[in-house]
Structure 1
Amino acid sequence: MLIGVLALQGAFIEHEKMLRSLGVDTVQVRLPGQLDKLDGLVIPGGESTTMGKLMNDFGLFEPIREKAENGLPVLGTCAGMIMMAREIAGSSQPRLGLMDISVERNAFGRQVDSFEADINIEAIGEEPFRAVFIRAPYILGVDGNVQILARHGDKIVAARQGRFMVLAFHPELTRDNRLHKYFLENMNI
């Protein structure tokens, strides 16, 4: 199994370490040709506007969208969630638009408002997941066959639609590999 991690900016190294701890081979993706032969792709957190600009500069939007529409499972965390949304509130920034969700950027506040919280994610077990929220977005609404996986209070912070999964927080910054494992086991990889 080979999982690509978009490595333009953000927490891509941490995702690689988490995936390797699960016995998965990884490759950093910076160019379209690096998408070939992947069994899945992770779009990490970072800054979504910068990530979008770099994805555009390196010609990654259409190749990623095409691979995803043809069966490539994709996990997006934080900024990755923003990139995967069909709609971003108040923004026309470039995005992949892979999931029938609308998101609010920096919805929990600025960098100084970052926090950790225990959230319940039934799909990975009874033990709460200690989520790290850094300038985190959240999902304003879902359409189609989007399955809500978790909320923090009344805010949707994790969802899945077919082979795609998004998280508003950073599981790669914890020692808990349950969400990466869930992605690998349940996204038809």
Structure 2
Amino acid sequence: MSAVRVGVLALQGDVREHLRMLADSGAEPSTVRRADELETVEALVVPGGESTTIDKLSRAFDLREPIRGRIAAGMPVLGTCAGMIMLADRIEGGIAGQQTFGGLDVTVRRNAFGRQVDSFEADLRVEGLDAPMRAAFIRAPWVERYGPDVEVLASVDRGEAGVHPVVVRQGPLLAASFHPEVGRDDRLHRRFVGMCREALR
């Protein structure tokens, strides 16, 4: 079986780290900055960064509508941190006029865990993984509400703030509020590549 061609949206964020993780997971990774590059890939990773900046740059590079169209057509997408926000159908705490690619029937809260100084790491149990995953939450979002077709794969208990989903899946879309590309644990990327193979059969 030929390797899945997975693009990494290269407008902002840990692009190189995602490329490395995808290659280690058996995919054929490449960067995506233009619509014609998007046409060459079978799946996409939307990395972390600043969701408002990714939104503005995707529109400036005429990528927003092509990405929305590919998502609607069933393209597998992995969104991490700001990428989770970009996949959400609804945002809380966004700025005026902020737009997303959509596709995930979730409401996501931006900067839910606090400011940069409130960043933290935790051992996260993700459904389907054999052992906890060390997760780095950096100005991370969480899922406030989700629809009936959304599968919650991991949640974080924030005490008085409640328990909130931080890894979710809906069909070929997978989103995590942390940065799985940080460190050496590529299990979430391997899971995504496996999802891509299933979707492309």
Tell me if TM exceeds 0.5: yes
Q: Which residue of 2 aligns with 1:183?
A: 192
Q: How much has 1:144 moved relative to structure 2?
A: 3.2
1:72 partner letter:
M
Structure 2 distance, partners of 1:30, 1:139, is 28
Residue 113 of structure 2 aligns with an amino acid whose one-letter code is F
Secondary structure, aligned partner of 2:121: strand
Aligned residues: 188
How far apart in 2 are the matches of 1:124 and 1:62? 34
Unaligned runs of 5+ in 2: 158-162
Aligned with 1:86: secondary structure?
A: strand
Alignment of 1:33-44 (within 5 A): 33-44=36-47
Compute the displacement of 1:25 (Å).
1.3
**Which residue of structure 2 lines up, in the alignment, with residue 75 of structure 1?**
78
Contact 2:85 2:91 in 1 (8 A): yes
TM-score by length of 1: 0.96
The sequence identity of aligned pairs, in percent, is: 48
Query: Structure 2 residue aligned with 1:134, among 138, 153, 157?
Result: 138
Structure 1 segments unaligned to the other structure (5+ residues): none
Alignment correspondent of 1:86: 89
Q: Secondary structure at the match of 1:13?
A: helix
Equivalent residue number for residue 152 of structure 2? 148
Rounded Cα–Cα distance in structure 2 between residues aligned with 1:42 and 1:128: 22
Q: Letter of the 1:99 partner, please give it.
A: L
Return the letter of the residue paired with 1:170.
H
Q: Residue 111 of structure 1 aligns with which residue?
A: 116
RMSD: 1.0
Q: Give the whole-Å Cα distance in 2 for the aligned partners of 1:90 and 1:45.
A: 17
Give the secondary-structure state (helix, strand or coil) at the position aligned to 1:139. Answer: strand
TM-score, reference length from structure 2? 0.91
Poorly superposed stretches of 4+, deviation over 2 Å? none
Aligned partner of 2:104: which letter? M
Corresponding residue for 1:174?
183
